[in-house]
A and B are shown apart, each in its own frame.
Chain A
Amino acid sequence: MDKATGNKAVIADGAHFKGQIKHTRAIEINGTVEADLKADKVTIGTGGKFVGAINADLVVISGHYDGNMDAGSIWATATAQIAGKIQYKTLQMDRGAALNCRVVHNWKPEKTAAKKTVDADAPADEADPKDDKPANETSKDDQATGNNTNANTVNAAAGDAGDTAALAPQPDDAKKNDNSNFRLFAEMTRQEPTEKNEPVRGRRLGIFGFGSRAAKLPDAQG
């Protein structure tokens, strides 16, 4: 008994644990565990299954893992099956190991912070090019991405109509040129928030067919 009772905690084969594990140095899991775990060394045996977060220096996986793992070294043996996300500094993967997860390399602690900011910027980067593209491409993009296509169109209409109304303050002109439908539309949509579409003002009017006049506005405004 003593040889096994060294300094390694064990969840034996057939055992099932659900809860919290704290203050562990080394732990070996041959059963099923649902927990969040912080340890020096974690071993998930061939029959072991772990669901939850692991923060450890060394993780050896021969069984199933699902969760968010942040480890110094990860060794996925031939029978490993991993889902979720793993962050590592060094990774060893034996032939046959199944990784079905997001794998992120931690270069250094500082770099992880940088990565996070990059990730945070990513959505903005996706959004920006849309606005920077020429009018035709923009409209295509909006429809092609299917990303709130309807909402975008409506907003674009709202913004553009509002802008047009705002940019053409001469009531005489409006009265002369407008058919009543357009004026009604403009008035109905003028109240809509336009901040999202302000950078592209006028450009998207191409969709609606009366862009010839408005398309020149951005240039004119300089």
Chain B
Amino acid sequence: MDEFTHIINGMDIEGVLNGGDLPVVVDGRFTGEIHAEKVTLGEHGLFVGKLFATHVEIGGQFNGELVCGTLNVGATGKIDGSVKADTSSIDLGAEVMGSIGRAT
């Protein structure tokens, strides 16, 4: 991947992001809504809101609603909210609170 949408650490962004075909990486703070193909929430990332994507990796703090095809919660990931995923994996050390269900 030579290009992707990157919300860098220290950045504070609020609104609606439609990522298109390219991946989205959130290392900063994002409040709002993301629609994308692939979303990665970095270790220092904070996401508040709704996230709709095909592939999601959570390494940071996620608050809100998550709807995705494939979910991978890393060891540093924290989720507080509702998760709907077709297939998911949660690494040792991750903290997940809330409801987990299937997307379809």
Contact = CB atoms under 8 A, between A and B. Distances in A.
Interface string B28-55: 1000100010000000000000000000
A123 interface: no
Interface in A1-45: 1, 4-5, 7-25, 30-31, 35
Contacts, number: 85
A205 to B, nearest CB: 61
Given A4-B3, A10-B4, A31-B5, A15 B20 contact: yes
A15 B12 contact: no
B13 A22 contact: yes
Given A5-B25, A14-B20, A19 B5 contact: no
Given A20-B14, A22-B12, A24-B11, A15 B6 contact: no
B2 A4 contact: yes
Interface residues of A, number: 25
Contact of B13 (A1, A14, A16, A20): A20
Given A4-B2, A4-B4, A9-B6, A17 B12 contact: no
B94 interface: no
Contact of B14 (A16, A19, A25, A31): A19
A22 to B, nearest CB: 4
A9 B8 contact: yes
B36 to A, nearest CB: 8
A19 B15 contact: yes
B57 to A, nearest CB: 12
Interface of A: 1, 4-5, 7-25, 30-31, 35
10 contacts: A4-B3, A9-B28, A16-B17, A18-B16, A19-B13, A19-B14, A23-B10, A31-B5, A31-B20, A35-B15
The 7 closest A-B pairs by CB, nearest first: A19-B15, A14-B20, A22-B12, A12-B22, A12-B5, A16-B18, A10-B6
Given A24-B8, A25-B10, 6 more contacts: A5-B6, A15-B17, A16-B18, A19-B16, A23-B10, A30-B3
